[in-house]
Structure 1
Amino acid sequence: MIGCVNHPPSERPDARRLQGSEYVDDDGSPDPALRTALAGYDAGTTPYPAVLAALAESRLVVPVVAILGETGEGAAGADGAALVTDKSSDMAAVLLTGADGRMALLAFSGIDSLAAWDPQARPVPVAAPLAAATAVQEGAAALVVDVAGPHQLVLAEDDLHRIAAGWRPVRLQDGGWGWLGAAPEGE
């Protein structure tokens, strides 16, 4: 847990606590099982449900970028014109808008694939179900993994919602695939 500097949470009942990341020691390396599944899917040797199973168990890196909020005028520059300065900025996850107007949240299998897309983006490691849930909450139609490669995957529709709900594909005894997860309340 993170508390306020110089003011322990016990002394500030109104202080909000932030949950620490489960990926504190994460170095941004891609999950080998996920990368192998993505490469196999691209090559046609790994079935889609197996890729979903690898994805559901993996950590993704969601890019966060600074968005300029309010600007102001600073001291005059060499030409005498006032310089524009940042007064505020916000950090935001990246949503990509497709030609059809639908949005997708971007996520990456590792920091190397994030850097290939935008080396200035800040990496935030999250569990794949959380990335999918964020996409759903933001009204995105999909989660796009590794948009700049090496192997892109689009998670959309029912599969996006199932992963977001914490469900995962499992291999059945007959060799097929099914979903394993908790039933919604009341069912």
Structure 2
Amino acid sequence: MTERRLPDHIAAQLASAGGTEDTGGQAWDGRNLGEGTSHTHRFPDDDGAAAAVVLEALAALRAGTGDEAQVVAALAGTRVFVPVVAEVSASTVTASGHVADKEADMALVSLRAADGRQVLPVFTSTAALTVWHPQARPVATDVRRAAVAAVKDGTQLLVLDPGAALPFVVRRPGLWALARGRVWTPSYRSAAVEEAVRRCAAGLPGVVSAGVAPGDGVAARAADGTVVDGGGAGPELAVVLALRAGLDRAGLDDVLARFQARLSIEPALAEDVDSMQLRLTTAG
């Protein structure tokens, strides 16, 4: 999927939504990271445990009684932890030939998805972060600040509790919704997206109908092999195109080229869809 520029109206809202000094919205200068864990600086009474509402939403997702929209809704307004690690910025060699660190900076940890996009890892608890990276320190922030910082940094995906039994990926539209403080509706349930798909198919020769469905990438696989219906990395939207029987190859290629060209300039798809796949069926 081609990376899209952040829509102007979203960029304008994010410009005033939170700080950018770090994911927690604070400057590193003057911060004491030497005592305990750094989450105590923003949340002095925080015990580092996962928010119950998030755990309940994840449990419902795994049990098949909840969905990924409910997980993202549960995340909104909660505290999460982002990992920071020390990076040596200056070192020297001692008289005995050993390398000694002179200066070190604290840096946020980021990941790369299989498609090359940058991913922000966040954690529900300090315990989950420590299991994933024992040397990383947890910096607590509310999830909206983390999302705002991620969007401003060009990050398109957020992964909750990587390395856990059931990590959960928040795709670009969900990440933007968290940053804007809005409710996220998956693209495969969006009336605006479905209307846009049908509009793009209208009048094309050989097309009987068009619709949407969850894509193959919605599902995620837990560590024990269980397939969970939500939290996957995408594609999250399947565009279903029903074609008239007997359409020859040249006609099919023409219809698909025109349909995809229309999809590529549809505003609702650019904003609300992270990635999509095309499913062709024959009508009649």
Query: Secondary structure at the residue paired with 1:49?
Result: helix
Which AA in structure 2 matches 1:165? R
Q: What whole-Å deviation, never above 9, does each CA across 1:80-111 have from its counterpart, x for those lacking one? A: xx111112211111100122211101100111
Contact 2:79 2:140 in 1 (8 A): yes
One-letter amino acid of the structure 1 residue matched with residue 164 of structure 2: G
Aligned to 1:130: 145
Task: State the TM-score, normalizing by the size of structure 1.
Answer: 0.73
- Match for 1:86: what amino acid? D
Normalising to structure 2: TM-score of the pair? Answer: 0.49
Structure 1 counterpart of 2:180:
165
The SS at the match of 1:131 is: helix
Once the two structures are TM-superposed, the CA of residue 17 in structure 1 deviates from its matched residue by: 8.7
Residue 73 of structure 2 corresponds to residue 53 of structure 1: yes
SS at match of 2:151: helix
CA contact (8 A) 1:38 1:152 kept: no
Equivalent residue pairs, number: 152
| 1:92 paired residue number | 107
Aligned residue among 93, 99, 102 for 1:73: 93
1:41 corresponds to which of 36, 58, 61: 61
The structure with the larger Rg is 2
State the SS of the aligned residue for 1:161: helix
Closer/same/farther in 2, CA of residues 17 and 95 from structure 1, 3 Å limit: closer
The RMSD of aligned alpha carbons is: 2.5
Report the AA paired with residue 141 of structure 1: Q
Runs of 4+ in structure 1 displaced over 3 angstroms? Answer: none
Q: Is the 8 A contact 2:79 2:142 kept in 1?
A: yes
Amino acid at match of 2:65: T
State which of 162, 174, 194 in structure 2 corresponds to 1:147.
Answer: 162
- SS at the partner of 1:132? helix
Gaps of 5+ in 1: 1-15, 77-81, 171-175, 178-187
Percentage of matched positions with identical amino acids: 37
Relative contact order (alpha carbons < 8 A, sep ≥ 6): 1 or 2 greater? Answer: 1
- CA distance in 2 between counterparts of 1:65 and 1:40 reads 33
Aligned pair partner of 2:134 in 119, 130, 135:
119
**What amino acid is the match of 2:70?**
A
Q: Within 1, Cα distance between the matches of 2:59 and 2:134? A: 23
Higher helix fraction (1 or 2): 2
Residue by residue over 1:62-94, the C-alpha shift from the partner in whole angstroms, topping out at 9 and shown as x without a partner, is 111111212211231xxxxx1111122111111
Instruction: Assess, with a 3 A threshold, how the Cα gap between structure 1 residues 21 and 137 changes in structure 2: closer, same or farther.
Output: farther
Aligned pair 1:103/2:118, yes or no?
yes
Superposition deviation, residue 121 in structure 1:
0.9
> Residue 118 of structure 2 contacts residue 156 of structure 2 at CA under 8 Å; is this kept in 1?
yes
What is the identity, as a one-letter code, of the residue corresponding to 1:158?
Answer: P
1:6 is matched with: none
Q: Confirm or deny: 8 A CA contact 2:173 2:184 kept in the other structure.
A: no
